[in-house]
Amino acid sequence: MTTKAPSSLLRLYLGRGVLAVAWAAAFASAHDPIDALAITLLVVYPLIDAVSSLIELRAAPDGSADRLTLFNGLLSALAAVGVGLAGAGGVPAVLHVFGAWAVVSGAAQVLVGLRRRGPEPGPQWPMLIAGGLSFLVGIFYNIQALGDTASLDVLSVYATGGGVFFIIQAGLLAWRARRPRARTV
């Protein structure tokens, strides 16, 4: 593994995490009612994921998950269009699109984490947990969208949680980069 790859991934994960938390704060105060600002923010969130996936393709230490990362980037771009269009349909429509995206991208994130985990199962645990939670939460969003209490409040919590997991992953990468490597004689 080159020094550039972990450093690039560290910056990407840290930036992605901070952006997600900032987005969550902005969306928490701007989503009710669903107006042009709320719809813009809804479109921006999956676009952050799409751009991050494309950057990750270049920064990843190996090609073990390139197809999944590219798939996730394309899926996120489609989700941006979908939530933009769903915004005109109201809260249930947005939750359905966001939920479907969360399910599929969460599954892809778990697969990427499994392929990148290497000989040590620990280094990818934040991404594995975040992907698994995304999958489960996406199902919950679709169920919630069918009920009378559909609310977009849950999206800020989702983004904050995802952001925290990306920040933790960046911290683990930094810690691993500073750890002395065992030498074979």
pLDDT of 41-55, one tens digit each? Answer: 999 999 999 999 888
Which long-range contacts (C-beta less than 8 Å, at least 24 apart) are formed by 60-67? 60/5, 60/9, 60/116, 61/1, 61/2, 61/5, 61/6, 61/9, 61/116, 62/1, 62/116, 64/115, 64/116, 65/111, 65/112, 65/115, 65/116
pLDDT (0 to 100) of residue 16? 92
Mean pLDDT confidence for 161-181:
83
Mean pLDDT confidence for 134-139:
95
Instruction: Please say whether the beta carbons of 30 and 87 come within 8 A.
Output: no
pLDDT tens column, 62-121: 665 678 888 889 999 999 999 999 999 999 999 999 999 999 999 988 887 787 665 554
- Looking at 10-24, 109-123, 127-141, which range is the least confident one? 109-123
* CA angle centred on 60, ends 71 and 44, rounded to 5°: 50
Q: How confident is the model at residue 28 (pLDDT cuts 50, 70, 90)?
A: very high
pLDDT (0 to 100) of residue 140? 96
pLDDT (0 to 100) of residue 3? 46
pLDDT (0 to 100) of residue 1? 39
Q: How confident is the model at residue 7 (pLDDT cuts 50, 70, 90)?
A: confident
Question: In angstroms, what is the C-alpha Rg of the chain?
Answer: 17
pLDDT (0 to 100) of residue 129? 87
Closest CA to 75 of 53, 42, 59: 53
